Amino acid sequence: MKLLILTPYYDPEPFGIAVVATGLATYMAEHGWKVTVLSGMPKTPQWEIFPAYRGKLLEREVRNGVDIVRTWIYCPRKPRSGRMKAWRRILSDTSMGLAPLAAAGALDRPDVILAISPPLQTAAAAIALKRLWNCPLLTWVQDIVPDAAMSVGMMQDGLAMRLGRGLEQFVYRNSDQIGVLSEGFARNLQLKGVPEEKLRQLTNWTDLTAFAGTSRREEFRERLHVQPDDFVLLHAGSMALKQDLSNVIHAMRMLSSRPNIKMFFLGDGICKGTLQTEALGLGNVRFLSTAALAEFPDMLRAADLLILNQAPNVVEAVAPSKLLNYMAATRPVLAASNAMSEAARLINSTHCGVVVDAAQPAQLASAIVNLQQRPDLRASYGKNGAIAVAERFSKDRALSKFDAVLRNLAGARQLAIPVGSVTKQTRAA
């Protein structure tokens, strides 16, 4: 069975879609699929083409049994303001959709195509290949575009938004099946006219084996130069508009009189420079080198409290994949987000942490102090999160379901997983 995956991000990019796309492709290659990935040259989270790929129009390589074909893409320079102009982002996303089409002509016809969105242009390119090869297409929606762009102010009502909505409908209409991360995503698409029978609930996951070893918590706390009684907060992952991490900086400024509460940012992204400027003079805030991502599970377990922050208008358009890793680390989660967001729903349903209002730094600061004083509650939240991940979001559970959906779509066997039945299974679990 031949599987072609179109994805905007892939290994060695360290966050988000790249991680799940890489895990998915590797799993499928290990389970009998001949997998080819079409992607652009790696560029995130720094928004710079990685040194080994600069100046290249086409690059082909094999990683973990997966044939990877990379093409040139337009990569705009990371803006100093932390907010990229919409036309630059649209041009970059369009290049991620169009460039792979030129390379696809040299590939064999697959049995099934998987397109990972955003951007929608990737799925649009997959539709062109679907028609060329007359093979089925599954579009897997990681963020709902253009809702996500609108929620953080990247796009406003106007011509660009109307074009985006039109492209969104084109993708949904021409995909044979659409994978969604949650019930909220399914509800969003159904309100836009997507029939329920077209939807498949295909969640993200976390690799529990990465957290199975003995914790090196004390070793890593020593490397962070924190004292035994320090209360360590950690945000790990992308630093972009939808994370709205200025809220965390403001909260830490309110806690500057409590020197034993320390906030660490691990990762990179379009807003990192702006955040570093905002944090100048704060002795309780530090930014860690991205090199520490190589030891990601141990960094999470070195913290006392894991921070997730989102922009106030982020609701059903985004489901942060980092949350599952937070839960797997057996650490409590403190989220500042919209109460109706996918993150808030998961935290509240699994009792793995506390949710406060987005963009309310005083609430965030108060919750940090309250949780610092309740080690018993933190331990309970951490345990609950780990149990929920093992039961509902393990790698084998999620990817075996993905394998079944793809085989069904390719015609190998008849097995359907409607959103309704998956929802019932999830609730029963």
Query: Could you tell me how far CA 342 lies from the centroid of its own chain?
Result: 12
End-to-end CA distance of the chain: 32
Cα→Cα distances 261→230, 233, 301, Å: 6, 7, 16
DSSP assignment string, 334-372: EEES-TTSHHHHHHHHHT-EEEE-TT-HHHHHHHHHHHH
pLDDT over 90 (residue 388):
yes
Write down the mean pLDDT value for the chain.
88
The position carrying tokens 């290049």 is 95
Annotated domain spans of the chain: 2-205+394-428, 208-391
Report how far residue 321's alpha carbon sits from residue 206's, in angstroms, rounded to the nearest whole number: 8
Residue 196's pLDDT band (boundaries 50, 70, 90)?
very high
| DSSP code for 77 | P
Strand duo 305-309 + 231-236: pairing: parallel
| DSSP code for 221 | H
Burial 60-78 (b: 16+ CB within 10 A, else e): eeeeeebbbbbbbbebeeb
**Taking the model in full, what pTM does it have?**
0.85
pLDDT over 60 (residue 423):
no
The helix/strand/coil state of 32 is coil
Percent of the chain with pLDDT over 90: 67
**Range with the lowest mean pLDDT among 191-195, 258-262, 288-292, 311-315?**
288-292
Q: What's the average model confidence in pLDDT over 199-204? A: 94
The per-residue pLDDT for range 237-252, each reduced to its tens digit, is 889 888 999 999 999 9
Q: What is the CA radius of gyration of the chain?
A: 21
- The order of strands in the sheet holding 353-356 is 285-288, 261-266, 231-236, 305-309, 333-336, 353-356
The answer to whether the 2-205+394-428 and 208-391 domains have the same CATH topology is yes
Q: What's the average model confidence in pLDDT over 35-45? A: 92
Q: What's the average model confidence in pLDDT over 29-44? A: 95
**Range with the lowest mean pLDDT among 137-141, 223-227, 273-277, 306-310?**
223-227
pLDDT over 50 (residue 8):
yes
| DSSP code for 270 | T
Count of C-beta atoms within a 10 Å radius of residue 141: 28
Residues 6 or more apart whose CB falls under 8 angstroms from that of 371 comprise: 305, 332, 334, 354, 377, 378
C-beta of residue 125 within 8 angstroms of C-beta of residue 97? yes
Q: What's the average model confidence in pLDDT over 256-265? A: 96
Can you read off the two tokens belonging to residue 182? 């949650």
The single-letter code of the amino acid at 148 is A
Residues 6 or more apart whose CB falls under 8 angstroms from that of 183 comprise: 201, 419, 423
Report how far residue 222's alpha carbon sits from residue 244's, in angstroms, rounded to the nearest whole number: 29
Read off φ and ψ for residue 116, nearest 5 degrees. Answer: -105, 125
| DSSP code for 130 | H
Q: Which CATH number fits domain 2-205+394-428: 1.20.1530.20, 3.40.50.2000, 3.40.50.300, 3.40.50.150?
A: 3.40.50.2000
pLDDT for position 375: 97
Report how far residue 187's alpha carbon sits from residue 425's, in angstroms, rounded to the nearest whole number: 17
pLDDT for position 110: 95
C-beta of residue 415 within 8 angstroms of C-beta of residue 407? yes
pLDDT for position 81: 65
Read off φ and ψ for residue 31, nearest 5 degrees. Answer: -115, 35
pLDDT over 90 (residue 14):
no
pLDDT for position 143: 87
Percent of the chain with pLDDT over 70: 92
- CA-wise closest residue to 116 among 212, 6, 264, 270: 6
Residue 161's pLDDT band (boundaries 50, 70, 90)?
confident
pLDDT for position 316: 61
Strand duo 58-63 + 66-71: pairing: antiparallel
Q: What's the average model confidence in pLDDT over 136-151? A: 82
Assign a CATH topology to domain 208-391.
Rossmann fold (3.40.50)
pLDDT over 70 (residue 318):
no
pLDDT for position 152: 56
pLDDT for position 164: 83
The helix/strand/coil state of 398 is helix
Peptide bond into 119 cis (omega under 30): yes
Can you read off the two tokens belonging to residue 274? 């702006």
pLDDT for position 22: 96
Higher pLDDT, 360 or 87: 360
pLDDT for position 292: 72
